[in-house]
Amino acid sequence: MAMTKSATPAGIPANIRKFLHDGDRYLQCNDLAGAERSANFAMALAADHPRAMGLLGKVLRRRGRTTDAVAFLKDAVARNPRDFELRQELARALADDTQLDSAIDQYREALALRPDAQLWFELGTTCDRNSQGEDALEAAQQAIRLAPQHMPSHFLRARVLTTTGRIEEAAKEYRRLARHPAQAAKAWFGLLDLKTVRLADQELLSIEKLESDPRTSETDRFVAGFALGQAYESAGRYPDAVRAVQRANQLLRRNIVWSSESHSAKIRQIAAAFTKLTEAPSDQSGFPVIFIVGLPRSGSTLVEQILSAHSGVMGAGELPYVDHVIVAESHRRGQEFPSWVADATEDDWRRLGESYLDRTQRWHKTGRFIDKMPSNWKYIGALRRMFPLARFIFTERDLLETCWSCHKQMFSPGCINYSYDWVELAHYAKDCRQLWRVWENLHPERCRTQSHEALQADLEGQVHELLHFCGLEFEPACLEFHDLKRVVKTASAAQVREPLRRNTARAARYGDTLGPLAIALGNIVTSEEV
C-alpha to C-alpha distance for 84 and 114, rounded to whole angstroms: 7
* Coil, strand or helix at 294: strand
Over residues 490-500, the mean pLDDT reads: 50
Distance CA 488, CA 498 (A): 13
Q: How many degrees, rounded to 5, is the angle at CA 272 between CA 297 and CA 338?
A: 75
Q: What is the dihedral of CA 475, 479, 480, 484, to 10 degrees?
A: 70
What is the pLDDT, as a whole number, of residue 47?
85
Helix (H) or strand (E) holding 251, with range, is: helix 238-253
Mean pLDDT score across all residues of the chain: 90
Report the pLDDT value the prediction gives residue 285, as an integer from 0 to 100.
66
The tens digit of pLDDT for each residue in 308-359 reads 999 999 999 999 999 999 999 999 999 999 999 999 999 999 999 999 999 9
Does pLDDT of 507 surpass 70? yes
Q: What is the pLDDT of residues 358-381, one digit of tens each?
A: 999 989 988 899 999 999 999 999
Angle made by CA atoms 19, 21, 22, in degrees to the nearest 5:
65
Q: What is the spatial distance between Cα 349 and Cα 370, in angstroms, rounded to a whole number? A: 20
Contact 450, 462 (CB under 8 A): yes
- What does the pLDDT look like over 18-70, one tens digit per residue? 899 999 999 999 999 999 999 999 999 888 899 999 999 999 999 989 989 99
Q: What's the order of all strands across the beta sheet hosting 391-396? A: 314-315, 369-371, 290-294, 391-396, 447-451
At 413 the pLDDT is 84
* CA dist., res. 266 & res. 339, Å (int): 10
| Cα angle value 471/464/307 (rounded, 5°) | 65
Q: What is the largest CA-CA distance in the chain?
A: 75
Task: Calculate the alpha carbon distances from 297 to 171, 180, 294 in Å.
Answer: 22, 31, 9
pLDDT tens figures, 251-274? 999 999 999 999 999 999 999 999
Distance between CA atoms of 179 and 191, rounded to whole angstroms?
13
Reported pTM = 0.84
Reported confidence tier of residue 6, pLDDT bands at 50, 70, 90: very low
Domain ranges of the chain: 1-114, 165-255, 260-400+408-526
481 confidence band (pLDDT: 50, 70, 90): confident
Report the distance separating Cα 141 and Cα 490, nearest Å.
22
pLDDT at residue 504 is higher than 80? no
Q: Are strands 290-294 and 447-451 parallel, antiparallel or unpaired?
A: unpaired
> How far apart are the C-alpha atoms of 359 and 316, rounded to whole Å?
12
Contacts made by residues 63-67, CB under 8 angstroms, sequence distance 24+: 63/32, 63/36, 66/93, 66/96, 66/97, 67/97, 67/328
Q: Residues 488-505: what's their mean pLDDT?
A: 52
Range with the poorest average pLDDT among 22-26, 175-179, 204-208, 438-442: 22-26
pLDDT of residue 286: 75
In sequence order, the 6+-apart residues with CB closer than 8 A to the CB of 431 are 263, 264, 267
CATH superfamily of 1-114: Tetratricopeptide repeat domain (1.25.40.10)
Q: How far is CA 274 from CA 281, 342, 428, in A?
A: 12, 8, 20
Q: What is the pLDDT of residue 89?
A: 96
pLDDT of residue 159: 94
Confidence of residue 487 (pLDDT cuts 50, 70, 90): low
Question: What percentage of the chain carries pLDDT values higher than 90?
Answer: 77
3 torsion bin: left (phi>0), alpha (psi -120 to 50), beta (else) = beta
Q: How far apart are CA 175 and CA 186, in angstroms?
A: 11
Instruction: Give the 3-state DSSP-derived string for 323-376, with helices as H, strands as E and coil as C.
Output: HHHHHHHHHHHCCCCCCCHHHCCHHHHHHHHHHHHHHCHHHCCCCCEEECCHHH
User: With pLDDT > 70 as the criterion, what percentage of the chain qualifies?
Assistant: 91
* Beta bridge partner(s), residue 448: 393
Superfamily (CATH H level) for 260-400+408-526: P-loop containing nucleotide triphosphate hydrolases (3.40.50.300)
User: Which pLDDT tens digit goes with each residue over 434-478?
Assistant: 999 999 999 999 999 999 999 999 999 999 999 999 999 999 999
User: Which pLDDT score is estimated for 505?
Assistant: 67
Of 312, 303, 268, 273, give the one whose Cα is nearest residue 450. Answer: 303
Q: Check whether 13 has a pLDDT greater than 90.
A: no
Q: Which residues are paired to 370 by β-bridges?
A: 290, 315
pLDDT at residue number 274: 96
pLDDT at 8 > cutoff 50: no
Which of 219-223, 422-426, 505-509 shows the lowest mean pLDDT across its residues?
A: 505-509
Confidence band, pLDDT 50/70/90 cuts, at residue 241 = very high
DSSP code, position 468:
H
- Answer whether residue 204 shows pLDDT above 70: yes
188 pLDDT band, cuts 50/70/90, is very high
Beta bridge partners of 393: 292, 448
pLDDT 10s digits, 98-109 = 899 999 999 999
